Amino acid sequence: MKVNLLVQFLALLEEMRGRAETTSEFQRLLEFYGFDYYAVVRVPLPVDTPDALLLAGRWPKGWPETYVRKRYMQVDPTVRYLGHAREGFRWRDTLDVYRTSPDRKRMERMMVDARQNGLEDGYIFPVHGRRGLLGSLSLGGRPVDLESIEMSLFDGIARRLYWKLIHEIDPEMAARSSAVVDVDLTRREMEALMLLGAGMTSPEIGRELGISSHTVDWYMNGIQEKLGARNRHHAIAIAFRLGLVS
């Protein structure tokens, strides 16, 4: 059974040596499942390019350039939904969530472009830490139907694979991400804080999170109070020092 391969990969993941062996074995697993492409990425922010986020992966030739040139990260429904998801989800299901969005047409164009580049459908599995969303695992290519038990196992693989790769590639970031910080920010506050750290204004953060700028300001007031910050700039400085954003 395919499920047995997922269980076996999870059991052997910690014994794999280095990034090369880990990604090679993971690609073998995905090929057996029928996935053509994958990506393990850090948490996506609108100011980043896909290359800056990528820890490991394989995309269709030319797709990352198209994605950047057409500014699809700003409207990508899978990225938007990722900020709210607590477990893995299918790409095609996200369009229904944003059927009334003013960006709906651009979302549809992005999906059409993705299919034309060989990304017909896929899945994303979020990776969360003490500070909220840290990264994700994306699987895509030809349509593949995963059972619920397979979704759960891929959720586990996403977490273990992300941490193994981040420790290999950037041990300092791994240490900051896993360190205990005694600041009780909600998930929404963390999302708003990370976007503020990326240089976004209240209206921009509101559009990204699907909330009003007044609600963003309310979150910011809560963040400043919890961090003991005088203003937003001070809040970001404290957040960087604590490792809440990087």
What is the value of pTM for the model shown?
0.72
Distance separating alpha carbons of residues 242 and 200, to the nearest angstrom: 20
The total number of residues written for the chain in this structure: 246
Find out whether 154 and 125 touch, Cβ atoms under 8 Å.
yes
The residues pairing with 121 across neighbouring beta strands, listed in sequence order, are: 141
Structure token pair of residue 104:
């709906």
Same domain as 43, residue 109: yes
Same domain as 159, residue 67: yes
Which position has the higher pLDDT, 131 or 92? 92
End position of a domain, from candidates 177, 192, 213 = 177
Find out whether 193 and 245 touch, Cβ atoms under 8 Å.
yes
Distance separating alpha carbons of residues 236 and 134, to the nearest angstrom: 18
Distance separating alpha carbons of residues 181 and 97, to the nearest angstrom: 33
pLDDT at 156 (0 to 100): 94
Same domain as 238, residue 194: yes
Same domain as 166, residue 73: yes
Q: Which domain holds residue 188?
A: 181-242
End position of a domain, from candidates 177, 205, 222 = 177
Residue 38 DSSP code: E
Residue 199 DSSP code: T
Same domain as 172, residue 87: yes
CATH at 168: 3.30.450.80
Domains identified in the chain, total number:
2
The residues, ordered by sequence, that sit 6+ positions from 31 with a Cβ below 8 Å of its Cβ are: none
pLDDT (tens digit per residue) in 48-70: 555 667 899 999 999 999 998 99
